[in-house]
């Protein structure tokens, strides 16, 4: 398995850190400010520009995940060094060590917001971010909690509580399953091939089954995001090729072409997603050639808690806002409200760092413990 060069590793951390912050800023911006008022001016333009990157950041996350997870899986399976047991332990511990505490924190924060804060008023004034039909689906039920814990949100039910960001975690988990299962059909022996085929069909069935009256386009989103995820995995496979820079230029040109094509002919969000996916691959492929040592400490710190930040920021934002009487209604964009908004961002980051210190920081230790317990011989 190839080793990712230092420059690329640092730049990936930079991209991951910036993407996580973009998601937080985008969601908090949408909840905090009144964008329906048609506010104009340089400050409003700056706020709107900084707050428009949430979905774009998630697309970049998918590409980076495909590169870091999917690519090594393909290489390991091609060389017959893929350890399925260790792989799934690695993936589950990575997800659960953050997601399970985040779900519990969502329950706590939502409980505080709706029982002691102005959660109901906040909810009703933030449509369509929280659609009117959303609260009728029992998002805070034990059933929804369990479905989210097993990555079935958006397939059976929706996200737990106010934590709407959890939709992408379902995509990630099932992509972790679909790639080795689909690839295993071609590289494993007969019995394992049958199992991989059945598992692949099961995941495809889940994607198709995800269509619901309030979310009819979900199957298409699952499949198209998987293609974007696989673009990142493919980039890993030819990362050491002598044609790497040629591929980088190719992805840049294709990305620009797709952006122009969809903007002028058919302004569909998925077209923009693919354009951004190709551009992200371009950035990853050229990152080896751009020195980044001066960014290592900062990138290590801010990317280190990015998953915790992503998993906690929405219920935390909602809870804090519910105790701020001035935010019962969305705020106009002024210098004083922007300052208050920035204080919110600092508080959200601080709480996420605390969650990281208690959970995500210990991923490697927990992973070794679980692996040792599951592989140690049992005494009769």
Q: Report the distance separating Cα 376 and Cα 373, nearest Å.
A: 5
Mean pLDDT of the chain: 91
**Section 246-268 average pLDDT:** 82
Task: Categorize the per-residue pLDDT at 248 as very low, low, confident or very high, splitting at 50, 70 and 90.
Answer: very high
- Nearest one of 120, 149, 135 to 318, comparing CA atoms: 120
Q: Is the pLDDT of residue 195 over 80?
A: yes
Mean pLDDT of 234-248: 89
Q: Which residues of 332-348 are buried (b: 16+ CB within 10 A; e: fewer)?
A: ebeeebbeebeebbeeb
Q: Return the top range by mean pLDDT from 105-109, 188-192, 214-218, 336-340.
A: 105-109
Q: What is the DSSP letter of 332?
A: P
DSSP 3-state of 156:
coil
Q: Give the pLDDT of residue 262.
A: 77
* pLDDT of 348 higher than 60: yes
pLDDT the model gives residue 268: 60
Contact indicator for 314, 163 with CB cutoff of 8 Å: yes
pLDDT more than 70, % of the chain? 96
Cα separation of 281 and 74, whole Å?
A: 17
Q: What is the mean pLDDT of residues 194-210?
A: 96
Q: What is the reported pLDDT for 379?
A: 46
| pLDDT tens-place string over residues 20-67 | 999 999 999 999 998 766 566 888 888 888 888 899 999 999 999 999
**Owner of token pair 């001035």:** 326
Averaged over 237-260, what is the pLDDT?
A: 89
Alpha-carbon distance 201 to 144, whole Å?
Answer: 24
> Phi, psi at residue 53, to the nearest 5°?
-105, 10
pLDDT tens-digit profile of 280-309?
999 999 999 999 999 999 999 999 999 999
Q: What is the pLDDT of residues 349-369, one digit of tens each?
A: 999 999 999 999 999 999 999
Tell me how far apart the alpha carbons of residues 73 and 264 are, in angstroms, rounded to a whole number: 38
Q: Is residue 293 exposed (0-12), middle (13-18) or buried (19+ Cβ within 10 Å)?
A: exposed
Please answer whether residues 232 and 70 qualify as being in contact, where contact means their C-beta atoms are separated by less than 8 angstroms.
yes
Contacts of 63 (CB under 8 A, 6+ apart): 228, 229, 231, 232, 235, 277, 280, 281, 284
Spatial separation of the C-alpha atoms in residues 233 and 225, rounded to whole Å: 13
- Choose among 242, 260, 264, 262: nearest CA to 252: 260
Q: What is the pLDDT of residues 131-167, one digit of tens each?
A: 888 888 889 999 999 999 999 999 998 999 999 999 9
Distance CA 338, CA 263 (A): 31
User: Is residue 190 predicted with pLDDT exceeding 50?
Assistant: yes
Q: What is the pLDDT of residue 29?
A: 92
The Cα–Cα gap between 20 and 64 comes to 12
């Amino acid at each position: 398995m190839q080793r990712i060069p230092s420059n690329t590793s640092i730049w990936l951390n930079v991209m991951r850190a910036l993407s996580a912050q973009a998601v937080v800023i985008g969601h908090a911006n949408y909840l905090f400010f009144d964008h329906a008022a048609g506010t104009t001016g340089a400050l409003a333009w700056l706020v709107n520009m900084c707050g428009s990157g949430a979905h774009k950041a998630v697309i970049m996350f998918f590409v980076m995940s495909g590169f870091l997870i999917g690519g090594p899986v393909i290489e390991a399976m091609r060389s017959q060094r893929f350890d399925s047991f260790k792989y799934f332990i690695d993936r589950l511990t990575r997800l659960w060590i953050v997601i399970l505490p985040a779900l519990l924190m969502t329950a706590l924060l939502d409980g505080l917001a709706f029982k002691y804060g102005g959660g109901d008023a906040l909810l009703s004034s933030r449509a369509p971010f929280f659609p009117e039909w959303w609260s009728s689906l029992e998002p805070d039920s034990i059933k929804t909690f369990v479905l989210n814990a097993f990555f079935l949100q958006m397939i059976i039910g929706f996200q737990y509580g106010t934590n709407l960001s959890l939709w992408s975690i379902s995509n990630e988990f099932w992509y972790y399953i679909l790639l080795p299962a689909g690839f295993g059909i071609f590289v494993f022996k007969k019995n394992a091939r049958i199992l991989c085929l059945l598992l692949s069909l099961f995941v495809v069935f889940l994607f198709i089954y995800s269509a619901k009256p309030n979310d009819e386009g979900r199957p298409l989103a699952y499949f198209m995001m998987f293609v974007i995820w696989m673009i990142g995995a493919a980039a890993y496979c030819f990362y050491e090729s002598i044609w790497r820079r040629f591929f980088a230029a190719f992805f840049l040109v294709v990305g620009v072409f797709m952006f122009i094509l969809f903007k002028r002919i058919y302004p569909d969000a998925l077209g923009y997603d693919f354009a951004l996916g190709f551009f992200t691959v371009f950035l990853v492929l050229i990152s080896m050639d751009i020195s980044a040592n001066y960014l290592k400490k900062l990138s290590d710190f801010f990317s280190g808690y990015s998953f915790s930040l992503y998993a906690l920021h929405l219920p935390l934002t909602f809870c804090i806002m519910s105790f701020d009487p001035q935010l019962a209604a969305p705020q106009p964009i002024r210098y004083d409200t922007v300052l208050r908004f920035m204080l919110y961002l600092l508080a959200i980051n601080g709480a996420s760092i605390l969650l990281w210190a208690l959970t995500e920081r210990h991923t490697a230790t927990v992973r070794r413990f679980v692996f040792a317990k599951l592989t140690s011989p049992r005494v009769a």
